[in-house]
Structure 1
Amino acid sequence: MQLSLKLSALFVTLIGVVTAAPHPEYVVSDAEMNHWLSTTDAELTYVGKPYHPLSPREAQNTRVVYCNTRNFNVCGGSCTVYNGGATCLSAPGTQCLFATQNVGFCDRGGCGGSCNQFSSCGTRLDNGFCWTPGTASITVGPN
């Protein structure tokens, strides 16, 4: 009986710990990104590591989609999909982006110049995208 009560208490505690970590509202989940990737008519180019959702190390990666066209509140055109760790992505002509973690977007190459964060996006678009006109590079930080 005592073992049963202790296991029940442990289970309730674990549920509380798992649900206590909120998902930041500005990032998209892997499920949301997968849905967008499978339903978009944008031209997609994949760079970085292949995405393997069952890999235990996949949670350490950040996925970023950045595109060259904004039509009303829709991001599309030619889009690049990055999956990987910390890096500086060359992204001239980027008009909009979204990501599974917070990233920075800069108006100069090499992740220099004036930079802003995805988390403080000024103009949100459909499907979790952020309007980022003038972006030339994207900085992906470590997770």
Structure 2
Amino acid sequence: MDTEPLTIDVWVRAHTPTIGPREHAIETVKELAERGVIEEYEVHTWPSAVDLTVPSEVTDRYREFAAWAERAGVTLEPAFSHRVVDNAITGEHNEMLVTPLICTVVRRDGDIVAVLPCCRGEEDHVSVLSYLASLDEDVDRVGGEKLPSPTVA
């Protein structure tokens, strides 16, 4: 069993008030870090949508998340969605990626363990908050594996 500690990156939409579930998720991540369930966390912002044809940190991250989702047998939709935007002036069609209000990426030793929210099948939606709650039970809610108990100093 892996004993490397977990880290979490929290991504939130920029220019949107941090209230409700997003605020609760960030507070929960802070508490998990304080109790030693995770080693560390970082909070990042991203725009509400980006052009997928233009390389950026967000498109790079999304491609990393999508590759993990394919390997894990889950989908990132509908949290991440795609839409085509038509430019009336140039006639171009841009494929836009719409980002979720909040997304958490759980890593162990730099490798992705989970990207939330995600869906296993058509009806099993794993939310950010339900996954964070499962960490208290030492269970990987996406993969179903038992996680190592944290070592509290």
Q: Note whether the superposition's TM-score is higher than 0.5.
A: no
Q: TM-score, normalised by structure 2?
A: 0.27
User: Rg larger in 1 or in 2?
Assistant: 1
Q: Which has the higher contact order (CA 8 A, sep 6+)?
A: 2
TM-score (norm 1): 0.28
